[in-house]
Amino acid sequence: MQISPSILAADFANLERELARIAEADWAHIDVMDGHFVPNLTLGLPVLERLAQISPVPLDAHLMIEDADRWAPDYAEAGASSVTFHVEAATDPVATARAIRAAGARASIALKPGTPFEPYADLLDEVDMVLVMTVEPGFGGQSFMTDQLPKITQVREAVAARGGQIWIQVDGGISQDTIGQCAQAGADVFVAGSAVYGAQDAAAAVQTLRELAGRHTHGQE
């Protein structure tokens, strides 16, 4: 069970310090938004490249941007260890995933809440992770969408049928109240923003989330 705190909930004036607060996490989740694919605008390549140089944990880049085919490999080259792009923004997801891997990062596809998984099931041969969004992408602090739990299970079952090691990530409204449901549905990588950065002790919050997820592993009660 891996925890990937989202720096979208961090203090942007002190990102080096904020990354140090999550040194016990597995990843630092970097939300890249372009103001087009989603209405919000966050940070891009130069900032991620610098964060990769000082982060105590590997960077998990989530690209909520148009023209993912063009830009996704650059984020791997800039230092992200995992690069996630939205299938809705890619015209050639196979080539994009291969380019990310060729640049030395893990490749991942993301699905918005309204996007079904079935049309993209064949992409499992090309990716290392599938991100099921549990809120509409664009802003932090939104409420968890329980209607996405069956999609998580659907992806988990497809991964199990295929064999191999593909992670399933969830992002949006993940907290101590919701992480167990996601783990039970089949997720094993959890993006949490305010649940970690809103806590007095971010390291303790990471550990609590990890333990809660571990108690609800898929297939166990």
Q: Which residues are catalytic?
A: 31, 171
Q: Is 200 strand, coil or helix?
A: coil
* Token output for 185: 């549905």
Distance (Å, whole) CA 99 – CA 88? 18
Quick check: 72 and 96 in contact, CB under 8 A? yes
- Report phi then psi at 219, rounded to 5: 95, -5
84, 110 Cβ separation under 8 angstroms? yes
How far apart CA 135 and CA 112 sit, in angstroms, is: 8
CB-based contacts of 36, cutoff 8 Å, min separation 6: 65, 66
* Structure tokens, 198: 């809103």
Which DSSP letter does residue 91 get? S
8-state DSSP, 6: B
